[in-house]
Amino acid sequence: MSVGVPVLDSDHKTLIGLINLLQRSIGDDEEYAAVGSVLQALQDYAAHHFAREEKMMEACRYPLLERHHLTHDGFVERVQALKVRYDEDHSSVRARDCLTFLNGWLINHICTTDMNYRAWVIGHSGALAAAAGLSMAGNGRKAEAIDWPSLRVLVVDDNVNFAEIIRTILEGVGVTRLLTVHDLAAARDALGGQGWDMMICDWHVGEESGLDLVKWVRRGPPDVAALPILILSGHERMTNRDLALLAGANEFMEKPVSARNLLMGIGRLLA
């Protein structure tokens, strides 16, 4: 499936990862939040990736740019319509229809339409520079300043799909040092073992509370106690931002999260 430009191949991998996650989220006990987050991340990534591709095609004066741009617009509109319908009534969006469309797009667009620019961009330094110049994290200045590849992130979430969504979003901006744990005991072990730059923790981790972990961290030795923490919550009626901040969290976000908001939230967290 390679289009010959590593940064675009990496975008495509993220998009394919999100499509796979959408499939896996069906039937999840937090399905609404998981599917909502995947759709939201898909929207964010598609917009970012299309902008990147179009800048690159423009740089090498690709003759089919206009037609390609229209197919990108068509994708954005369909995902947007899906998301609107999902937000209104999540049971109205049938996973199968949604995946039929996305898999069709994967074959008809990534594997076909995108391949047409391959010969134009390979070895074109202007096109490669244009593609590399746009970053998903570049939407917020604070997020742009982060050295993502060296960031050590601990993710605590009992929901495997949701943890994978976070992993996919973060790997998409270059994070490689990420550990996911699914309960508080494993989180405490991980926190004692090595230095972390930040922790993303679910409010409800199985029967346990992520806020208890936050309090435990804040009572720890100085290097652990200063850890920047982002709390996520998928049960908005039972929780609130003030309680999370009072427990010692630095940031609070409700699921479903968008890729853009998550990256900007991390930017604020680490600023």
Residues forming the site for Fe ion (CB under 5 A): 53, 114
Distance spanning both ends of the chain, measured CA to CA: 37
Least Å distance, CB 139 to Fe ion, is: 19
Q: In this complex, which beta carbon is closest to Fe ion, that of residue 44 or of residue 53?
A: 53
Burial tier of 17 (Cβ tally within 10 Å: 0-12, 13-18, 19+):
buried
Least Å distance, CB 3 to Fe ion, is: 7
Q: In this complex, which beta carbon is closest to Fe ion, that of residue 53 or of residue 251?
A: 53
Q: In this complex, which beta carbon is closest to Fe ion, that of residue 68 or of residue 255?
A: 68
Q: In this complex, which beta carbon is closest to Fe ion, that of residue 114 or of residue 202?
A: 114
Q: Which amino acid is at 6?
A: P
Of the candidates 133, 104, 98, the residue with the CA atom closest to the CA atom of residue 8? 133
Least Å distance, CB 52 to Fe ion, is: 8
Q: In this complex, which beta carbon is closest to Fe ion, that of residue 95 or of residue 132?
A: 132
Least Å distance, CB 96 to Fe ion, is: 24
Contacts of 136 (CB under 8 A, 6+ apart): 44, 45, 48, 172, 173, 259, 260, 263
Q: In this complex, which beta carbon is closest to Fe ion, that of residue 49 or of residue 204?
A: 49
- 43 phi/psi in degrees, rounded to 5: -60, -50
Q: Which amino acid is at 194?
A: Q
Measured at CB, which residue is nearest to Fe ion? 114
Least Å distance, CB 230 to Fe ion, is: 30
Residue located via tokens 């992520």:
210
Least Å distance, CB 191 to Fe ion, is: 39
* β partners of residue 204: 209
256 preceded by a cis bond (ω within 30 of 0)? yes
Asked if residues 252 and 244 have their Cβ atoms less than 8 Å apart, the reply is yes
CA angle 196, 200, 204 (to 5 degrees): 135
